[in-house]
Amino acid sequence: YAQELIGRQELQTLIDNLAKSHPKVVEEAIGTNAFNLGAVLKVCKGLLKEQVPIRDLRTVLETLANYASVTKDTDQLVEYVRAALARTITSRLSNGTGALEVMTMSPSTEEQIIRAYQRQENGGPTLNLEPGYFEKLIKALNKTIESTVFNSGTPVLLCRPMIRGLLKKAVERFVPNLQIVSANDISPDASVKIIASVEA
């Protein structure tokens, strides 16, 4: 529940501490041309919700500064920051070993989800999965998790970057302990082993 514990005041304190050692980073990320405190807070909450630590606030703010001219969409920014924190994410999900065990989706299942990807008129993407298929997907995920032993103790699903965030939002209520990552979230020097496939 870390995302519920951090508010504007807590984040401002963290940023003030960083500003003492890296004033330029803070200036570029939080300024007239970049993001206000509320936008940075949304990104931090998005990371914490999926248990991605924000101790490395310098990398978080540097990434936001780099992409300020590209997008202001919080969900997309979370994905960019996750990629910048790939080593941290990999270390956490592999218990520090760098050896990551993952499930993947069968090609037909992943293709079905990618076909459901749509951009709404207001610009935000969504997954428009048929209710019947979504139910099958949840059952398949739970069944695979129940029959698979992950060394880390945490079930991890590897999927395409474009659907990672949307899929996590769609399934988190029904499969709450599942970590969903894309190749962008995995450190280049990690050893990745596929130990199960999900077929909806």
CA-CA distance, 92 to 95, in Å (whole number)? 5
For the ranges 27-36, 66-75, 148-157, 185-194, the maximum mean pLDDT occurs at 185-194
> Tokens in use for 114?
């990618």
CA-CA distance, 119 to 107, in Å (whole number)? 22
Residue 123: pLDDT above 70?
no
Q: How does residue 50 score in pLDDT terms, banded at 50, 70 and 90?
A: very high
Residue 32: pLDDT above 70?
no
CA-CA distance, 81 to 83, in Å (whole number)? 5
Residue 119: pLDDT above 80?
no
> Tokens in use for 4?
């519920």
Average pLDDT, the chain: 92
Query: What is the structure's pLDDT at 151?
Result: 82
3-class DSSP state of 14: helix
| pLDDT tens digits, one per residue of 142-197 | 999 999 998 888 999 999 999 999 999 999 999 989 999 999 999 999 999 999 99
